[in-house]
Amino acid sequence: MLQFETSEKDLSVTPFLDQLQVEFKKIQQVMATGGYVDDRASLNLLDDQAMLERIAQLAKPYQDAKVVILVGMGGPGLGARAVQEALTGIYHNLNHTPRIFYADTVDSVRLDSILKIAEKTLKDRQKLTVIIATQSGGTTETIAAAATLQALFQSTGIDPAQHMPLITNEDSKLDVWGDEHGFTRILVPPKIGGRYSIFSPVGLFPLAVLGFDIQTLVKGARAVRDQTLTGGIKKSIAALSAVQIAKHYKTGKNIHVTFIFAPELESIGLWCRQIMAESLGKNQLGITPTVAIGSRELHSMFQLYMDGPDDKITTFVKIMRTNGRTVPEENIFSTLVESIENKSFQAITEAIFSGVVRAYTEKKRQYAILSLPQISAETIGSFLQFKMLETMFLGSILGVNPFDQPGVEAYKVETKRILAEK
């Protein structure tokens, strides 16, 4: 299970208990009602065994692909990538099949690179799967990339309907189009927002195609959700984390740093950035989320954290790894840095982490430490659910709706208007 500790020994949910109880009761009601009729319905995904079995079944025909391209913006792109990189690393494509590429932009250079990979895959007569994920069914960037990849299949005489599964909401324009043209559609239950969609087909289907254990991922999320429900608000680490962040936000600390001491979790950090920014940035309120990786950012951002304005609250994410490789006892660099011979890289990382925490303490910079026992499907599922619950509680404390995104819709409307004028 996750472990949570803070720099404040007397931190309590009591100052915000009324707001937290309001949200907690809504969560209880959603769980008791079941189904997908409330914005918090993502919590019910974890018990939808029929959905999980359907995802696993629909993924099977695509699991023998040599290359998978996931086309999706926001939640559809960030969620699956965050889990994949956490579990198999950023060098996944060197050691695993299928290889995976993420088309999360319509930048011409990036997309051209992905198209060249797709072209070579087809030229080599290898199986290519292109997953299209857009819940609305009309995201400009996603559909533009999808149209280009569909044309590539057609130009080589391959039926795109056999290689391009569509993840979308029921009755969306893409759902209707896909039905008419014989494409496989994996439908997302109602009331599941993109940034809360990791445990829906949006996140789980691509992961299933890649061969990940989605049942264990969901099991970890379910454990955190159930711990919150059975233990109550006062024992919820998600509520306690929300309280610490909100408490300092109200004193002017409006920047939140997710400081991760595990580089393979960087995309997890980007997922955290999205859920905090898009959920809480409303009505001229909001916490600016940033992501730092240890020990890389100790040599780029740490100076600011120590001697810059005291306007930040930090959550460290630490992995309790076992010792691995060690620095050789005899090496030509032994005179340059003392006390590293025969030390494991994990021991060095632990020493650096402890030094960072001591520096924060001496500077009276506020922080929390979230520790994962190891990186596994179960612990990653737990972490993701922790962050979603934390966000729901923060929305209640700050008095904003953490489930809509009116600001995002503005650019979508203007983009379509501009394109129509050209």
- What domains lie within the chain, and their CATH numbers? 3-26+217-406 (3.40.50.10490), 36-212 (3.40.50.10490)
Mean local confidence (pLDDT), 43-70: 98
Q: Judge whether residue 31 has pLDDT over 90.
A: yes
| Distance of alpha carbon 388 from alpha carbon 198, whole angstroms | 10
Show the CA angle centred on residue 103, arms to residues 139 and 90, nearest 5°: 140
| Distance of alpha carbon 244 from alpha carbon 233, whole angstroms | 14
Antiparallel, parallel or unpaired: β 3-6 and 367-372: antiparallel
pLDDT in tens, 113-162: 999 999 999 999 999 999 999 999 999 999 999 999 999 999 999 999 99
Model pTM?
0.96
Query: Following CA atoms 135, 141, 146, 149 in sequence, which dihedral angle do they give, to the nearest 10 degrees?
Result: -150
List the beta bridge partners of residue 277.
none
Q: What is the pLDDT of residue 170?
A: 96
Upstream peptide bond of 295 is cis (omega within 30 degrees of 0):
yes
| Distance of alpha carbon 162 from alpha carbon 129, whole angstroms | 9
Tokens (6 digits) for 17 = 């208990």
pLDDT in tens, 97-107: 999 999 999 99
Show the CA angle centred on residue 213, arms to residues 239 and 65, nearest 5°: 130
Q: Judge whether residue 345 has pLDDT over 90.
A: no
Quote the percentage of the chain above a pLDDT of 90.
88
Rounded to the nearest 5°, which phi and psi values hold at 156? Answer: -105, 10
CB 277 within 8 A of CB 289: yes
List the beta bridge partners of residue 318.
371
CA distance between the termini of the chain? 54
CB 15 within 8 A of CB 4: no
Number of residues assigned to the chain: 422
Q: Judge whether residue 329 has pLDDT over 90.
A: no
Q: Which amino acid belongs to residue 355?
A: G
Mean local confidence (pLDDT), 344-365: 95
| Distance of alpha carbon 388 from alpha carbon 221, whole angstroms | 10
pLDDT in tens, 368-409: 999 999 999 999 999 999 999 999 999 999 999 999 998 887
Q: What is the pLDDT of residue 77?
A: 87
pLDDT in tens, 236-294: 999 999 999 999 999 999 999 999 999 999 999 999 999 999 999 999 999 999 999 99
Average pLDDT, the chain: 96
The residue with tokens 């939140």 is: 256
**Three-state secondary structure call for residue 260:** strand
264 or 339, which is more confident: 264
CB 191 within 8 A of CB 38: yes
SS3 per residue for 140-199: HHHHHHHHHHHHHHHHCCCCHHHCCCEEEECCCHHHHHHHHHCCCEEEECCCCCHHHCCC
Tokens (6 digits) for 175 = 């759902």
The residue with tokens 């979603």 is: 388
Upstream peptide bond of 201 is cis (omega within 30 degrees of 0):
no
Cβ atoms within 10 Å, residue 415: 12
Instruction: Return left, alpha or beta for 239; rule: phi > 0 is left, psi -120 to 50 is alpha, else beta.
Output: alpha
Q: What is the DSSP letter of 134?
A: -
DSSP string, 122-135: HHTT--EEEEEE-S
CA separation (Å) from 313 to 17, 115, 249, 349? 21, 41, 8, 22
| Distance of alpha carbon 80 from alpha carbon 104, whole angstroms | 12
**Three-state secondary structure call for residue 102:** strand
Q: Judge whether residue 334 has pLDDT over 80.
A: no
Contacts of 335 (CB under 8 A, 6+ apart): none
Tokens (6 digits) for 233 = 């608000």
